Amino acid sequence: MNKPVIGITPSHNTENDDISLRPTYLRAIAAAGGLPVVLPLEAGSEDLRQLTALCDGFLFSGGPDPHAFLFGEETQVHCGNVSPARDRMEMELLTQVMEAGKPILGICRGIQLINVALGGDIYQDIPSQTESLFPIAHSQPFSYAYPSHHVSVAEGSLLSGITGDASFIEVNSMHHQAVRTTAPGLIPCGFAPDGLIEALEKPDYPFLLGVQWHPEYLWKTHGEAAEIFRQFVKACRK
Ligand SMILES: [Mn+2]
């Protein structure tokens, strides 16, 4: 039986215009039974349409900050690097993939990109735009292979179907931006102890899950991280 083909959006080095992808994304998808392929950044509408038809599911990977113009703001002083080329490709790809109704997994930048594309917005910089009595290091000071904070999982959600009995899971954290206003049609399904939204899903869609953490660094040691990839690839089989 052919494996589901999972198209993964690439990282873009805006200094030298290279694209790349950390191999742990590919290994996580492969371990879950999928066949991962890295998508090209330079693909026009027609090419993206063909790629949308070719792949069975799409992973929107981590990366730089979505440009503030995408959600109607000016760039603030603590915003990080951006890639307009990647913004364009991913925004257009997401539109086409959603028209086709194919499964979508967003990781880190991915959850932010999905939320912005569907009409929500994000904090451009968590430390300077939020005040919490319970500060959490969302840019963790140690290896991504170790979890650094917890996420509480909403009951009855797609995510809870993945995490099973565990309603309070351990995640890593390497983001300085986060979902602020949730886009229409999306619902938050995971929260950090400081209240930040760490996961989003779309209940009326075959499979659309965005997570703010990086399960691709945890899948070997944390069952629910591996299960995110397994359930995603399973949805792509249909
Ligand atoms: Mn976090």
Q: How confident is the model at residue 61, as a pLDDT?
A: 98
Q: Please give the pLDDT value at position 131.
A: 82
Q: Is pLDDT at 93 greater than 90 in this prediction?
A: yes
Beta strands 35-38 and 5-8: pairing type? parallel
Per-residue pLDDT tens for 105-161?
999 999 999 999 999 999 999 998 998 767 899 999 999 999 999 999 999 999 999
Q: Is the pLDDT of residue 238 over 90?
A: no
User: 36: which strand partners?
Assistant: 6
Q: What pLDDT score was predicted for residue 133?
A: 67
Q: What is the Å distance from ligand 1's center to 58 Cα? A: 23
pLDDT band at residue 4 using 50, 70 and 90 as cut-offs:
very high
Ligand 1 centroid, distance to 178 Cα (angstroms): 8
Interval between CA 218 and ligand 1 midpoint (Å): 14
How many residues appear in the chain?
A: 238
The model's pTM: 0.97
pLDDT tens sequence across 30-85:
999 999 999 999 999 999 999 999 999 999 999 999 999 999 999 999 999 999 99
Choose the catalytic residue: 175, 214, 224, 227: 214
Residue 24 above 90 pLDDT? Answer: yes
pLDDT digits (tens, 9 = 90+) for 190-204: 999 999 999 999 999
List strand residue ranges (DSSP E) for the chain, in order: 5-8, 11-12, 19-20, 35-38, 57-60, 104-107, 122-123, 149-153, 168-171, 178-179, 187-191, 197-201, 208-211
CA of 131 relative to ligand 1 center, distance in Å: 15
Q: Is 216 a residue of the active site?
A: yes
Q: What is the mean pLDDT of residues 204-220?
A: 97
Looking at residue 160, its pLDDT comes to 97
- Closest residue by Cα to residue 23 from 79, 61, 72: 61
CA dihedral (202, 189, 12, 130) positive or negative? positive
**Any residues with CB less than 8 A from the CB of 31 and at least 6 apart, and which?**
219, 226, 229
Angle in degrees, 0-180, between the axes of helices 45-54 and 84-100, rounded to the nearest 10: 50
155: annotated active-site residue: no
Whether 79 sits among the annotated catalytic residues: the reply is no
Position 20 confidence tier, pLDDT thresholds 50, 70, 90: very high
- State yes or no: pLDDT of 216 exceeds 90: yes
